[in-house]
Amino acid sequence: MHLFHVRSYVILTAFFLGIFWSCGSYEGINDSDFFQTSLDAKETEKIWFATSLQENPEVSKTDIPWKQSESKWKRISVPSNISPDFVGKKEVWIGRVIQFPKVPTLSYSLRLGAISDSDLVYWNGVLIGNTGDPKKLSPQAYDKVRIYEIPSGKIVKGDNILLVRISRYFSGELGIVKDHTSIGPSSIIRKEYYLRSMLDLLFLAAYATVAVYFLFLYLRKSQGISHLYFSVFVLLLVVYLFNRNQLKYELGVPLSILKRAEYSFMYAAFVFYYLFHLTYFPRSESRFGKILEKVGIGASLLLVFWIPLLWFFSNGEIWTFANKKIVQPFIFPVLVFVGVWIQISNIVKGNRDAVYMGAGFVAVVFGTILDMFASQGILNIPSVTNFTFFLYIVSLAFVLANRMVRLQAEVLDLNRNLEGKVQLRTEELSNTLDTVRDLKEQQDGDYYLTSILLKPLGGNRHLESSVKVEIMEKQKKSFLFRQRTGELGGDICASYDIVLRNKKYIAVLNGDAMGKSMQGAGGAIVLGTVFKSVVSRTNVHSVSSDTTPEKWLQGCFLELQSVFVSFDGTMAVSLSMGLIEEDTGVFYYVVAEHPKPVLYRDGVAEFIDPPTQIFKVGYENVESEFAVGVFRMRNGDSIFFGSDGRDDLLIGKNSDGSRIINEDENEFLKRVREGEGSLKKIYDSVISFGELTDDFSLLSVSYDSESIDSDSSLRRNAIQAYKRKDYSRASDAVSEYLENSPEDTDALLLACIFFRKDGSISKAIEFGERYRLRKPFDHSGKLALAKAYKKGGNEERAAFLMKDAAPL
């Protein structure tokens, strides 16, 4: 805040304090016409008396009632609540003697403080004034300060008798309960009354000025919401304090409406007081702080809930009970405590604003303590709470203004040095962009070199034949390096021609390496390298090509597993790989935690289920039984391999902005049907359904040849020969049958048994192992293979198989 504003507030405060201190009351009866005399007294002083019995005020014209019948009257303190002394009594009389050393020449008035509730006042037996009607059910004026002028000629030298008949409204409140009592010249009494009321209004005007200033500041400059909360808090406080001012009775509004408005504005002011503290300072990060903030919000909601109920209940005792027994002792302390805790926690953090705000709050507490001492007679000073509270409001205004000044100083500094700051920031941004550009170029160079390494390891190396292979890849990461565009990811597709035992096969692979960009590409390079190495070794070395399709797939899988396991779980791949025999169209395949292959036949797309669930390549000590699936393709069939990028499509967003990812694998079957088996059309259908979120790869195998019909009679002849115990004929027949029908897995078991009976143990073991690779859990195959090994002299292998088959 500007220094001029601070000085203005200090001078104004000192001025108000000087005026107020000059308006103090003086005890003792004075014979001067320029002072008022206090009528307050403690019970022990035996000055004020009270009775609940009906009194005739006419008696006081000649006698003092409590001296005639002392047992009927009790000594009381004024001001005080005498309800505990008169439990259940609706009405009491109180009185005292006021001595005048001489008859005054000026008009005199009585100030009787706040009487609860209605009253009739008699001076020497003459009615000099009244407030309220005891017959009414609504409250009359229980917080109104009574001032009654004594009629001319009614004051006598010596003893004067004051009698007041008081009718209660509240069951727990009776008597002259607040303010102070005094007697003096009417001009002095009323001057003090109006001067104090106007002084309060001056404070309210100061509060309102501060509030309106910050309200306009918020509206014009869109300052923080705390400015708005502070403005509303102070404006509500102004209206509340006006309802506490005695001048409110000059409006002629019924007390029931005034008190409801007073409570409503008081509750609302506390709510905005809490909101101001909650929004001005940074929110607490501690668990205790968050709990306290929620408790404060809950207390605020209770106050907001209670405000409309005030206007619903017409019984004033309900409002007062809720205010004195619930709101003031419980809800207000909670809000004040949370507000003070917020201040203290920010003071600990070194927040200057919290220090200033805390100093103002300490002033309020100090003033309240002084007023408590004054009310107990320890100190003889007037109330100072109004002034200390004014200091508190000023401290809050100072804090807000100080924040605005800091902001303006920053803006001025920015304006003065704007050009230099812009130039400096531009240079910093340019340097940062150059650094980022260099780093990106280096990264794109790494991507480019990696893609160069990956390129020869994938692709379609199959020469055209009755089997057609097509590949489509769309990696998620794309880059531009020196005018060269490229893609990089963890998906890989490859196809090669190999020969096993003089039969032509097409080896196909579709893999998805774990990780994104470089990590995924690294896995794809390892996968492609090992697979190509196995293919090359098969085509070069006759030993490697002298094997069955099942054993070749098993060997390739085990070699991949041994390589990836060496990376200790940091690199793994899911894959589908297979062999297609050109002559027969028989398809041998292995699926390791990869999307299922899809068969497209006669316009219908369906999944080809793998025989077992095999985990990803690269995970060690994971129990999963290796198995080879076998499927015979027909003329016009197409089989599609694809990574999970075909399924993980972005198909929309939720209301909160989170992505909706497709989780239905059957959607891909629809895409295959819509694409009519064409790889390009399938891709177009996929991207029209949803946006790619991962690497996308597809490999299709189409068979376009009339496959050799299997001769089922050979199978029947083999079984009949076996029954005739013509094992040689049975072995030859089943072997010839399997040449054209290798997909018949059960025939492999028959061949194992027939060749064992015929004495061809090596052949029996070969067919038995092929059967076991297709059906690893079948106990009949294990037993037949165990017998072959045993007959061949391999007792250890036979025992292992027998043990493995035992649980089944």
Q: With contact defined as beta carbons under 8 Å apart, do 676 and 445 qualify?
A: no
Rounded-to-integer distance, Cα 196 and Cα 178, Å: 16
Rounded-to-integer distance, Cα 558 and Cα 34, Å: 116
Measuring CA to CA, which residue among 503, 617, 606 is closest to residue 558? 617
**Helix (H/G/I), strand (E/B), else coil: 112:** strand
Rounded-to-integer distance, Cα 650 and Cα 727, Å: 61
Count other Cβ atoms within 10 Å, centred on residue 744. Answer: 20
Return the CATH class of domain 196-407.
Answer: mainly alpha
H/E/C letters for each residue in 16-27?
Answer: HHHHHHCCCCEE
**Sheet with 638-642, edge to edge strand ranges:** 467-474, 696-703, 638-642, 598-601, 604-607
At 4, is the pLDDT very low, low, confident or very high (cuts 50, 70, 90)? very low
Quick one: pLDDT at residue 57? 83
DSSP annotation of 606 reads E
Strands 48-51 and 91-100 turn out to be antiparallel
Range 40-180 has CATH code 2.60.40.10: no
* 120-147 average pLDDT score: 87
Quick one: pLDDT at residue 622? 62
Distance linking the first and last C-alpha atoms of the chain: 89
Q: What token pair was written down for 104?
A: 């005054």
Quick one: pLDDT at residue 204? 83
Rounded-to-integer distance, Cα 153 and Cα 156, Å: 8
At 92, is the pLDDT very low, low, confident or very high (cuts 50, 70, 90)? very high
Where are any strands of DSSP class E within 715-792? Answer: none
Residue 756 amino acid letter: R
Rounded-to-integer distance, Cα 145 and Cα 111, Å: 7
The reply to whether domains 196-407 and 712-805 share a CATH topology is no
Scanning 417-514, the segments in alpha helix (DSSP H) are: 418-454
Rounded-to-integer distance, Cα 548 and Cα 705, Å: 23
What architecture is the 712-805 domain classified under in CATH? Alpha Horseshoe (1.25)
pLDDT at 7 exceeding the cut of 70? no
pLDDT at 20 exceeding the cut of 60? no
H/E/C letters for each residue in 194-249?
Answer: HHHHHHHHHHHHHHHHHHHHHHHHHHHHCCCHHHHHHHHHHHHHHHHHHHHCHHHH
Q: With contact defined as beta carbons under 8 Å apart, do 396 and 233 qualify?
A: no
Rounded-to-integer distance, Cα 310 and Cα 302, Å: 13
At 66, is the pLDDT very low, low, confident or very high (cuts 50, 70, 90)? confident
Quick one: pLDDT at residue 766? 92
Quick one: pLDDT at residue 14? 40
Range ranked top by mean pLDDT from 3-7, 63-67, 148-152, 216-220: 148-152
Rounded-to-integer distance, Cα 35 and Cα 189, Å: 9
Residue-wise pLDDT for 176-198, tens only, equals 988 889 999 999 989 888 888 88
Calculate what percentage of the chain has a pLDDT beyond 90: 27
Superfamily of domain 448-703: PPM-type phosphatase domain (3.60.40.10)
At 641, is the pLDDT very low, low, confident or very high (cuts 50, 70, 90)? very high
Residue-wise pLDDT for 769-780, tens only, equals 999 999 998 889
Lowest-pLDDT range of 3-7, 517-521, 600-604, 663-667: 3-7
At 367, is the pLDDT very low, low, confident or very high (cuts 50, 70, 90)? low
Quick one: pLDDT at residue 22? 38
Scanning 677-726, the segments in alpha helix (DSSP H) are: 679-689, 712-723
Rounded-to-integer distance, Cα 752 and Cα 773, Å: 13
| For the chain, domain boundaries | 40-180, 196-407, 448-703, 712-805
Q: What token pair was written down for 767?
A: 């067919």
Count Cβ neighbours within 10 Å for each residue of 618-632 and write b for 16 or more, e otherwise: beeeeeeebbbbbbb
Sequence-distant (≥ 6) Cβ neighbours of residue 313 within 8 angstroms: 319
CA dihedral 781, 783, 788, 792 (to 10 degrees): 140
Rounded-to-integer distance, Cα 719 and Cα 739, Å: 17
Residue-wise pLDDT for 701-751, tens only, equals 999 887 666 677 888 888 888 888 898 998 998 888 988 889 999 999 999
At 378, is the pLDDT very low, low, confident or very high (cuts 50, 70, 90)? low
Residue 187 amino acid letter: S
More confident residue, 320 or 39: 39
* DSSP state letters, 94-156: EEEEEEESS--SS-EEEEEEEEESEEEEEETTEEEEEES-TT-SS---TTPEEEEEPPTT---
Q: What token pair was written down for 94?
A: 């109180």
Strands 573-581 and 503-513 turn out to be antiparallel
Residue given tokens 């083999």 in the structure block: 718
Give the sign of the dihedral formed by CA 60, CA 66, CA 72, CA 77.
positive
* 465-471 average pLDDT score: 90
Scanning 283-351, the segments in alpha helix (DSSP H) are: 287-312, 316-322, 332-348
Q: With contact defined as beta carbons under 8 Å apart, do 786 and 805 qualify?
A: yes
Residue-wise pLDDT for 586-615, tens only, equals 999 999 999 999 999 999 999 999 988 888
